[in-house]
Amino acid sequence: MAEKTYLQAISDGLRQEMQRDQRVFVLGEDVGVYGGAFKVTQGFQEEFGAHRVLDMPLSETAIVGGSTGAALMGMRPVAEMQFADFVSCAWDHLVTVAAKQRYRAGTPIPIVLRLPSGGGFSGGPFHSQNPESSFAHIPGLKVVCPATPEDAKGLLATAIEDPNPVLYFEHKHLYRRIKGEVPDERFTTPFGKARVHREGDDITVITWGAMVYTADEAAGRLADDGLSVEVLDLRTLIPWDREAVLESVARCSKVLVLHEDTKTGGFGAEIAATIAEHAFEQLDAPVRRVAAPDSPVPFAPSLEKAFIPQVDDVAAALRELAAY
């Protein structure tokens, strides 16, 4: 057990998977010689050789298409999109081919796409998005959004083991900012099991990724006012832990759904609708959503701050819910 950054946890986890399973290999733009845009695969080529750490041309289509073919041939590719935003270039291969292959032909496609996502550092509209809901909507894909170093490692191992295409959203803003204890030995974290990041009884915040920390900070402020807020980290969106959400709703009866993605059609809408469907009689207030406004992610730091939900925004929404 050692304290590691979120980024180190991903890197170490990936290295461990490659050490234990010859079928696992890495491919992406600048993942080899350069060690990756964020240095997740630094030193990998020296350790595993260029044939297992492939520098690819500037084509997400080729990366995802090649991964799909390799998976069909029995390999376990882990492809890196330099930024999650660019996965849209590979939409057709991912959504039309990889997601449906198992359904059409019965052949599993065990690929993992590492998707550095999220904003908070003035990356602008092309390098800051959180497109998880687009893929959560596609049957055949799994969507994973770790928030802690431990989960980053455990969920990566599970993703590589999974026979389906898994989109692994790693939040850039957590890379070096978040540290935590991570077991040295290999372990897996199950999909579809939420994690209680903070216990509480008055209001529950359902969130994932970097917003877990925003929610936690806001909850801390309300704790000073004597209100106990629960923070539930979903960890994975497909599948997502309905039971944990409904249980928390039944206990707290007031709900805030929080995500960094834009609001309309965001995955929070799915959660809110599910709560309305299955826990209507548990509600003591309308389900509240806090999310980014429906706009591209702005570049200007002041605008980006206004765009991404901040601790103040969440605390204000929580206070309103508490007063309802």
Active-site residue set: 127
C-alpha to C-alpha distance for 82 and 74, rounded to whole angstroms: 25
226 binds other proteins (CB under 8 A): no
280 contacts other proteins (rule: CB under 8 A) = yes
Member of 282, 306, 313, 319 binding other proteins (CB under 8 A): 282
Cα–Cα dist 11/43, whole Å: 10
Q: Under 8 Å CB-to-CB from 241, ≥6 apart: which residues?
A: 192, 193, 194, 234, 235
Nearer to other proteins, 103 or 280 (CB): 280
Instruction: Mention every residue, 6+ apart, whose C-beta is less than 8 A from residue 61.
Output: 89, 90, 92, 93
Site residues for other proteins, 236-275, by CB under 8 A, read 253
Bridge partners, residue 80, by sequence? 28, 114
Question: Do residues 260 and 118 lie in contact, with contact meaning Cβ atoms separated by under 8 Å?
Answer: yes
H helices of 253-300, in order, are: 267-278
Minimum Å gap between C-beta 205 and other proteins is: 17
Helices 211-224 and 311-323: crossing angle in degrees, nearest 10, is 50
Task: Tell whether residue 72 is a contact of other proteins (CB under 8 A).
Answer: no
Query: Which range of residues in 36-44, 139-147, 164-172, 278-286 is near other proteins by CB under 8 A?
Result: 278-286
Cβ contacts of residue 206 below 8 Å, gap of 6+?
Answer: 232, 234, 245, 248, 255, 256, 257, 258, 268, 271
**What 3-state class would DSSP assign to 280?**
helix
Q: Does 281 bind other proteins (CB under 8 A)?
A: yes
Site for other proteins (CB under 8 A): which residue of 283, 299, 313, 319? 283
Closer by beta carbon to other proteins, 62 or else 283? 283
Cβ-based nearer residue to other proteins, 269 or 285: 285
How many Å apart are CA 304 and CA 119, to the nearest integer? Answer: 8
Backbone φ/ψ region at 244: left (φ over 0), alpha (ψ -120 to 50), beta = alpha
Is residue 324 at the binding interface for other proteins, with CB under 8 A as the rule? yes
In whole angstroms, the minimum distance from the beta carbon of 280 to other proteins comes to: 5
Closest approach of Cβ 286 to other proteins, in Å? Answer: 9
CB atoms within 10 A of CB 192: 16
- Cβ distance to other proteins smaller for residue 283 or 311: 283
Nearer to other proteins, 41 or 253 (CB): 253
Among 246, 285, 306, 311, binds other proteins (CB under 8 A): 285
The CB-of-23 to other proteins minimum distance in angstroms stands at 48
- Per CB under 8 A, 223 contacts other proteins: no
Q: Which CB sits closer to other proteins, 21 or 284?
A: 284
Q: How far is the CB of 285 from other proteins (least distance, A)?
A: 7
What's the min distance (Å) between Cβ of 201 and other proteins? 10
Amino acid at 22: Q
Q: Does 284 bind other proteins (CB under 8 A)?
A: yes
The DSSP line for 56-82 is --S-HHHHHHHHHHHHHTT-EEEEE-S
225 binds other proteins (CB under 8 A): no
Binding site for other proteins (CB under 8 A): 253, 277, 280-285, 323-324
